[in-house]
Chain A
Amino acid sequence: MKNDDVVEVSLFDWRYFYPVLFIFIFLFTIIIFNGMINDWGRLSNGIGVFRTFLSEDVLPPDWTVLEPLTYPVCTVEPRILDFTCSRAWIGMIETLKIAFVATVFGTILSLPISLLAARNLNTTEVSYIARFVLASFRSFPSLIWGIFFVILVGIGPTAGVLAMTVYTVGYLGKLQYEAIEGMSKSPLEASEVMGLTKLETAFQVVLPESANDLISQIIFMFEYNFRHGTVIGLVGAGGIGLYIDTAIKYLEYDRVIAYLIIIFIVVLIMDFISIKIRSLFTEEVGHSRPKWREVFFPAWMIKR
């Protein structure tokens, strides 16, 4: 009798060892953490310190940041809009402007580099050089680039725009070449056989085919830049961070917390808008696209 078709069955499976592995990794982490802590008592003190800090320094938030500055004199009519002359509003708008300009400049610079970096469009050598450029821009966070450009061009939004542009090129470039490499192979093969030039392929095949991903990433990058724009002011590169930095230096923590709450709310709104806009560009929403007013207003407001 032939026994070729009989397969030996055993209950042994490597997957049973995964929980053991996780426990081992966790214990290992605890050992490393213990090595870095010299006094566990400080962790328990932290709660008491936090309570004092909260009651004496931080609360209540100082909402004078939303009142108009004494100089320059606010001339906005009607008076209800005079918060647009406040520090928080000016700082926030400046942060938005920095994020917008940096995203647009960064996109313009990163698109050609990411087209060069995509391995399905170029030879390995070219793509590695382009990837090296992108990786070197990305290797420092925008905060470090901020310090660098503040030294070069001085304190202010110019340094912020330059710093964020450089970081955007590095980060967005990586996202974009990955999106381009993720596109289907056959349009590229078809255009290669037809004999289209590299530039034609890039502009007429690659960009239309991956446009949804690219636009979605640009919007994500704007949102990201906006969040980081609030931090970048701490090193003097403009935006609302500059006002937070000043407040921290004068130990006005109640003012700091007011700024932070404002940032939190605006970031939430920006995130919401960004998610909604990006949902227009992600795949297969169906035949009807969401309308623009659906992005800005909740459904119950539109439906009457």
Chain B
Amino acid sequence: MLFRNPSIPYKRLGSPKIIIYSGGDLLEKDLQQNEPIILLKDMVIGYSKEEPLVQIPNLKIYPGEIVAIVGPSGVGKSTLMKTIAGLVKPISGYAQVCGKIIPESPLRGKLGYIPQDLGLVKHASVIHNVMLGANAGHNKSIIPFIPIILPSLKAKEEATKSIISMGLKEKMYEPIKRLSGGQQRRVATARTLAQAPELIMADEFLSELDEETIAMVIGEVIEYIKISNAALLVVEHDIARARIMADRLLVIDDGRINPFITEITAMEVEV
């Protein structure tokens, strides 16, 4: 069993109960004073109009929040995340991410994304991959060639710091393809932490890790979220782990689990 690092303070929001999702109304007031990082209204998500995957009437995610998306496989968790990332076009609805309305993409470095298969450059070294994120976050030259020729010192520092925090100091110059699956996941996490984004979206970024490493990775990520007031949106198949990590659960239900819901929709579970 996994336990959250008690030295990291974060709020729990009420006792566990299941409700149909109703937006951010149940959150505490201090959260609501902020602008939401993600704001979805009447969204229909999927790849074709005939077969919509998920309907989301209303969803707001605020800075400092950790929200886990859970649900049975094939229900559209990853698609929802890709839609928020701007990779999949929504079928209909209004979506605002980091202050930009989709299909407009957020500013450079504001969004961190860990895809399910990590999206690492397999033939390049760990530091190269982490520098991609660090450059996106800290090397914001308008002239496109400059970041390639002149890497900024700040970006390099951030990259090194996040590699060390993920326990990969010895592997810094090792090519990704020689690392184990769990180490590769940590590289992807380090890349996103080095980027210092406002919103981290992670698709099952804890699978293939052992318990100790999970505790370390979750600790680092949650620390980052709480210190820099960012938000974390994570797809998690393990509900127990999601409950430990998340402030809120977003359950995507296709009616198979909950017989009272006939329509494909999203609902919120508070923990």
> A199 to B142, alpha carbons, bound, how many Å?
12
- The reply to whether A208 and B124 contact each other, CB–CB distance below 8 Å, is yes
> A200 to B119, alpha carbons, bound, how many Å?
15
- The reply to whether B120 and A187 contact each other, CB–CB distance below 8 Å, is yes
- The reply to whether B122 and A209 contact each other, CB–CB distance below 8 Å, is yes
- The reply to whether A189 and B119 contact each other, CB–CB distance below 8 Å, is yes
How near does chain A come to B150, taking the closest CB pair, in angstroms? Answer: 13
B141 nearest CB neighbor, chain A only: A197
Our pick among A199, A212, A287 for the contact of B178 (Cβ within 8 Å) is A287
- The reply to whether A199 and B148 contact each other, CB–CB distance below 8 Å, is yes
Q: Which B residues lie within 8 Å of A189 (CB)?
A: 82, 85, 87, 113, 115, 119
Q: Which B residues lie within 8 Å of A212 (CB)?
A: 123
- The reply to whether B123 and A194 contact each other, CB–CB distance below 8 Å, is no
Q: Which of B112-141 contact A (CB under 8 A)?
A: 112-124, 128, 132-133, 135-137
**B260 interface residue per 8 A CB criterion:** no
Our pick among B118, B128, B135, B195 for the contact of A200 (Cβ within 8 Å) is B135
> A205 to B136, alpha carbons, bound, how many Å?
13
- The reply to whether B144 and A208 contact each other, CB–CB distance below 8 Å, is no
> A187 to B110, alpha carbons, bound, how many Å?
17
Q: Which of B182-204 contact A (CB under 8 A)?
A: 195, 197, 201
**B57 interface residue per 8 A CB criterion:** no
Q: Which B residues lie within 8 Å of A193 (CB)?
A: 85-87, 111-113, 201
Q: Which of B95-111 contact A (CB under 8 A)?
A: 105-111
When A186-B119, A203-B148 are in contact, do A196 and B136 touch as well, CB less than 8 Å?
A: yes
- The reply to whether A194 and B128 contact each other, CB–CB distance below 8 Å, is no
> A190 to B205, alpha carbons, bound, how many Å?
14
Q: Which A residues lie within 8 Å of B111 (CB)?
A: 193-195
How near does chain A come to B23, taking the closest CB pair, in angstroms? Answer: 25
When A187-B120, A193-B87 are in contact, do A204 and B148 touch as well, CB less than 8 Å?
A: yes
> A229 to B148, alpha carbons, bound, how many Å?
37
A209 nearest CB neighbor, chain B only: B121
How near does chain A come to B98, taking the closest CB pair, in angstroms? Answer: 10
B87 nearest CB neighbor, chain A only: A189
Q: Which A residues lie within 8 Å of B85 (CB)?
A: 189, 193
- The reply to whether B122 and A205 contact each other, CB–CB distance below 8 Å, is no
Q: Which B residues lie within 8 Å of A190 (CB)?
A: 113-115, 118-119
**A191 interface residue per 8 A CB criterion:** yes
Interface hub of A189, A195, A203 (most chain B Cβ within 10 A): A195
How near does chain A come to B86, taking the closest CB pair, in angstroms? Answer: 7
How near does chain A come to B40, taking the closest CB pair, in angstroms? Answer: 17
> A194 to B82, alpha carbons, bound, how many Å?
13
How near does chain A come to B107, taking the closest CB pair, in angstroms? Answer: 7
> A55 to B111, alpha carbons, bound, how many Å?
77
A204 nearest CB neighbor, chain B only: B132
- The reply to whether A200 and B122 contact each other, CB–CB distance below 8 Å, is no
- The reply to whether A204 and B115 contact each other, CB–CB distance below 8 Å, is no
A→B interface (CB under 8 Å): 184, 186-200, 203-205, 208-209, 211-212, 284, 287
Interface pairs (22), CB distance under 8 Å:
A186-B119, A187-B120, A189-B85, A190-B118, A190-B119, A192-B86, A193-B112, A193-B201, A194-B111, A194-B112, A194-B137, A195-B106, A195-B109, A197-B108, A197-B147, A198-B144, A200-B135, A203-B148, A204-B121, A205-B132, A212-B123, A284-B177
| 3 closest residue pairs by CB, A with B | A190-B119, A195-B108, A186-B119
